[in-house]
Structure 1
Amino acid sequence: RLVPLKGLGRRLENDLVRADIPLKGEEFAAFVILAFVAAALLGLLVFGSVLNACLLAAPAAAAPVFYLRMAKARRLAAFNGQLCDALAMIANTLRAGFSFLQALEMVRKELPDPISKEFGRALQDLNLGVSVEDALQSMVERVKSDDLDLMVTAVIIQRQIGGNLAEILDKIAETIRERVRIKGEIKILTAQGRISGLVVGLLPIGLLMVLLLINPGYMQDLFNNPMGIKLLAFAAVSEAIGLAAVKRIMNIEV
């Protein structure tokens, strides 16, 4: 009520759903603000310096956001890892003479989370009268998986023009397995570059924090002098550009 968080909360809502974190967007934004304020007050009481308090509060506020991104990426990876099994189960269920909705129900019952929860939400939409195409498209919007988008597109096309859906799903599963294999090889080949970029990017920040804790007076001129503040700003911008460049180079789309 004190801080207008509705706009920010709406932007965070989809990320929280994809990460399977049972919080509203406004609640998560308020938690980040409270973490920043609490860490700033703690730093002010311990160090007695506004600058040191801000240096302590910034990581405290960034930690929930970092956790949200990690949880979202981890859940997406788990979903993609289960998708091939789901496609095989749907194809086998269709060959056994069951309907497509019964195949979705089988996936919801037999496979673990997170894929069972997402297919369960799609079945809930279908039970509420939503069409199959809209329910599957809503699932794609929630999950944001390229592999799931490929599957849903094939299902929608098959429902419009006909064809053997079980055979189509088998081919999609084979394509997804090949993509996963290629992504694994790329990840292995680029591991050294990604770790090197991370170490080089975090080393100056870690060294600055250590020097501030060991000998704060040694670094005071850098913060009190206008030229020192400009150098720090230039260093921060250079760090951000370097990390973004390394991430862009190492991120190979398959």
Structure 2
Amino acid sequence: MDRNWLILLVSAGAVFCMIWGLYCLGIYYTNTKKLWKTLKPIMVKRKGERSSLFLWFGNWYDRTESGQRLAALLKNAGIGIKPSEYFALLALLFGLCCYLAHNFLDLFFPLDIFCAYLLVKIGSARFLKMKQQKLVDALNRQLPDICRLLSSSVKAGLNIQQGIELAAREQKPPAQTVFTELAHQLQLGNTLENAFSHIMEGLPSKELRLMGSTIIVQRKAGGNMARVLEEMSQTLENRDRVNQELRGKTAETKFVAMVLPFMPIIAGLVLNISFPGFFLPLFTPLGLILAAVVIGIETVGFILIAKITDIRV
């Protein structure tokens, strides 16, 4: 009899503990749901964030000073990947270049590593600069339409900040991205001058700088802002037309300036394939002196051609 009572008490205690646990679980779920409903409206959702390809190393590299500098370069070039992802692509490309230089071009160590590093370094810098210039050119082509939109906004009774927010909604990238950031800076309480300065830190657009300076000066001096913006749109269109004509006339010279320094290198690689050990005399004292002289002459010629074709409007 005592044993049956003991089993009954243990069973009752187990049932009570189960009911109490379910009750506590329900209370926890209800409170968590209420807290989520309270916090959800004020939480900032980050759009466009992507996970790094390499979890630990990628997150660590993204937080380093080198990773932050690379992130700024990628942002200014309009490339939407993490710095660690871009670094991994460069590492893979470096390994591929080392393999090709050692096995197909018969370059010995450390010349194969040096050539691969030089190729990846220069190629990456040129690629980022080319992408940035392409983004700036696309932005400059959109600025006349933005000036007309701002002029129409001012005529409709809106202020400059509201016109910038309207341009951020109506325009397509890259102008949408730039003016969204500009509108965000104004919403944070920054002045128009500081907001334009923040945008221009990583975006070398002379047309955008001219547009911002004109709006700031006209706003301080007073006057017909709508008329000034209309004239600015015509000025920007004329500058774009002149820049296109200049690019067309100097394209051949720039192409020669880019190809000419690599012709001796390509010729030397071809000769090294045909005659293994062709580069060995370069590593003698006289060979190093001659190589330094040739590199110096080609560098001076490249700089001179770049200066001659760099016509500013």
1:166 deviation in Å? 1.1
Contact (CA 8 Å) 1:108, 1:116: kept in 2 or not? yes
- Of residues 241-250 and 43-52 in structure 1, the stretch that sits farther from structure 2 once superposed is 43-52
Aligned residue among 76, 79, 84 for 1:21 = 79
Q: List aligned pairs for 1:215-254, cutoff 5 A.
A: 215-217=275-277, 219-254=278-313
Q: List aligned pairs for 1:1-254, cutoff 5 A.
A: 6=64, 8-9=66-67, 11-22=69-80, 32=90, 35-36=93-94, 39-40=97-98, 43-44=101-102, 47=106, 49-50=108-109, 51-217=111-277, 219-254=278-313
Q: Given residue 238 of structure 1, which amino acid in structure 2 is its aligned partner?
A: I
1:45 deviation in Å? 6.2
Structure 2 Cα separation of the partners of residues 98 and 123 of structure 1: 14
1:172 deviation in Å? 1.5
TM-score (norm 1): 0.85
- Of residues 110-119 and 97-106 in structure 1, the stretch that sits farther from structure 2 once superposed is 97-106
> What is the root-mean-square deviation in Å for CA atoms of aligned residues?
2.8
Q: Given residue 289 of structure 2, which amino acid in structure 1 is its aligned partner?
A: K
Structure 1 Cα separation of the partners of residues 242 and 297 of structure 2: 32
1:68 deviation in Å? 0.9
Which one has the largest radius of gyration?
A: 2
Structure 1 Cα separation of the partners of residues 153 and 174 of structure 2: 20
Q: Given residue 286 of structure 2, which amino acid in structure 1 is its aligned partner?
A: M
- Of residues 104-113 and 206-215 in structure 1, the stretch that sits farther from structure 2 once superposed is 206-215
TM-score (norm 2): 0.70
1:59 deviation in Å? 0.9
How many correspondences in the alignment? 252
Structure 2 Cα separation of the partners of residues 241 and 30 of structure 1: 33
Structure 1 Cα separation of the partners of residues 226 and 260 of structure 2: 49
Contact (CA 8 Å) 1:75, 1:114: kept in 2 or not? yes
Percentage identity across aligned positions? 27
Q: Which runs of 5+ in 1 are unaligned?
A: none
Instruction: Describe the shift of the 1:178–1:143 C-alpha distance in structure 2 as closer, same or farther (beyond 3 A).
Output: same
Deviations along 1:26-50, whole A, 9 cap, x unmatched?
8756865675466436644664711
Could you say what secondary structure the match of 1:190 adopts? helix
Structure 2 Cα separation of the partners of residues 112 and 118 of structure 1: 10
Structure 2 Cα separation of the partners of residues 223 and 182 of structure 1: 47
1:116 deviation in Å? 0.6
Structure 2 Cα separation of the partners of residues 37 and 99 of structure 1: 55
Deviations along 1:13-32, whole A, 9 cap, x unmatched?
54333112345668756865
